Structure 1
Amino acid sequence: MNLGVPKLDELLGEIEPGSTILISTIGELGIEIVVAVLRENKEKAVVFVTPRLKKRLKKTEGIDGVIYFTLGEDFAPQELFKITHAMREVPEDRFVGIFFLQPLLVFHPPETVHRFFSELANIALERGFVLMSMVDKRLLDDKTLAIFEESATHVIDIVEIVEGFKITRGIRIKKSPHGVTGFYKLELNKEIIIGEPLG
């Protein structure tokens, strides 16, 4: 599978079925990558979203073949069970599952969210589909983030450095069977531009 972002596809190589991709970011920085994946794989994608995020994604052009599983806003424990059950029931012709971890971290301790994420990764491996998740690293300490990263087969790390009035965004492959990279300049202006290596 390809992500639909040429430079990322080059850096990551072919994504094998059963892989788990974790995008470690700040807020929703990099959601454009998720949208690019949905555009590239719209007829094969399932997205687990809150009603608010579903409304936002539905306005996005070029992802009309996506299946949405809408979750409650509060993510009660029974919601987590429903999500794992729904993940097991994803139709055979769909092989890309997308899940946003940020809302869970607001309502549950990181340990609970990690167990849940690990279970989703195992389901993806069993079913042979690709799971992509996004997490706001500001909601986790370094040790807990490392535990999340350990459960993924691929980790895309996005950073933002502010110096005075200058904002520099960077992206790197932190974990991948094809190896890791240093940071590359990242620009997000209606399209994803991965430029020259930083530093």
Structure 2
Amino acid sequence: MLLGVPKLDRVMGEVREGDVFLIETVGSLGVELLSEVILNNREKRNVSIILPKGASEKRVLPAEGTEVMVLGEDVHAERLYEILHHIRELPEGSVLVAIRLDVLFLLRPREAVFMFMEDPVSTVQKKKIILIMTVDKRNVDERDMAVFENLATHILDITEIVKGFKVTLVMRVKKSPKGSTGFCEFEIEGGRVSINGPPNAL
């Protein structure tokens, strides 16, 4: 599967079935990129989205042609089991998008979150499902982020750089089979993502 952003696809290479793609971000930064990935792949693949209740990302993500599962305000064990059951029932080659998994740390004990994560990751690898996760860096400490990073085959780091009155959106490939890159600028124009950066970035 290609993400659909040519410059990024050239650097990261193809995301293969069974791969785990992690987007480290702040709030909903980069959700347009995720939306573009879904739009570029929903005709070819079954797409399911897991997101927390009231997530602002829902307004930007394409609803047509996708199945959405919402985490409730109180994420109890029964709800997590329902989601795991849904993941196990997904057809081979599907795309599973998990938005803001860091919210689980606010609702469940750390050990329960890690136990929950082991199951979907092993399931997507067995069933050759592509898993794309986003994590808000503000809600996860370095130790917890390391757990997510160890699970991932590809990591994209998105953040903002503030210089004076100018705020710039930047991204870097933190981990992929082809290696990593430095930060480069990216912009969203008319719902499309464009990347501008020096050769040593992207």
Q: TM-score, normalised by structure 1?
A: 0.87
Aligned to 1:48: 50
Residues 134 and 60 from structure 1, CA distance in 2 versus in 1: closer, same or farther, beyond 3 angstroms? closer
Equivalent pairs: percent with the same residue? 37
Equivalent residue of 2:195, what SS? strand
Which region of structure 1 is more displaced relative to structure 2, 113-122 or 146-155?
113-122
**1: distance between equivalents of 2:38 and 2:2?**
11
Residues 54 and 70 in structure 1, CA contact (< 8 A), matched pair in contact too: no
Say what the alpha-carbon RMSD is for the aligned residues: 2.3
Cα offset for 1:7?
A: 1.7
Aligned to 1:99: 98
Q: How does 1:13-162 map to 2 (within 5 A)?
A: 13-43=13-43, 44=45, 45-50=47-52, 52-53=54-55, 56-57=58-59, 64-92=64-92, 95-100=94-99, 101-162=101-162
Residues 162 and 115 from structure 1, CA distance in 2 versus in 1: closer, same or farther, beyond 3 angstroms? farther
Q: Per-residue CA shift, 1:119-149, capped at 9, x if unaligned?
A: 2221110110100000001111122212210
Residues 79 and 37 from structure 1, CA distance in 2 versus in 1: closer, same or farther, beyond 3 angstroms? same
Name structure 2 gaps, 5 residues minimum. none
Residues 136 and 50 from structure 1, CA distance in 2 versus in 1: closer, same or farther, beyond 3 angstroms? closer
For residue 96 of structure 1, what is the amino acid of its counterpart?
Answer: V
**2: distance between equivalents of 1:28 and 1:108?**
22
Q: Per-residue CA shift, 1:150-187, capped at 9, x if unaligned?
A: 11111111121222211122111111112111111122
**2: distance between equivalents of 1:163 and 1:2?**
33
For residue 151 of structure 1, what is the amino acid of its counterpart?
Answer: L
Residues 110 and 140 in structure 1, CA contact (< 8 A), matched pair in contact too: no
Aligned to 1:191: 192
Equivalent residue of 2:54, what SS? helix
Residues 51 and 71 in structure 1, CA contact (< 8 A), matched pair in contact too: yes
Name structure 1 gaps, 5 residues minimum. none
**1: distance between equivalents of 2:146 and 2:136?**
13
Aligned residues: 196
Q: Per-residue CA shift, 1:46-95, capped at 9, x if unaligned?
A: 112345349934x756x521122344232222221211111001134x51
Aligned to 2:177: 177
Cα offset for 1:41?
A: 1.2
For residue 94 of structure 2, what is the amino acid of its counterpart?
Answer: F
**2: distance between equivalents of 1:132 and 1:145?**
15
**2: distance between equivalents of 1:84 and 1:60?**
22
**1: distance between equivalents of 2:138 and 2:8?**
23
**1: distance between equivalents of 2:151 and 2:25?**
16
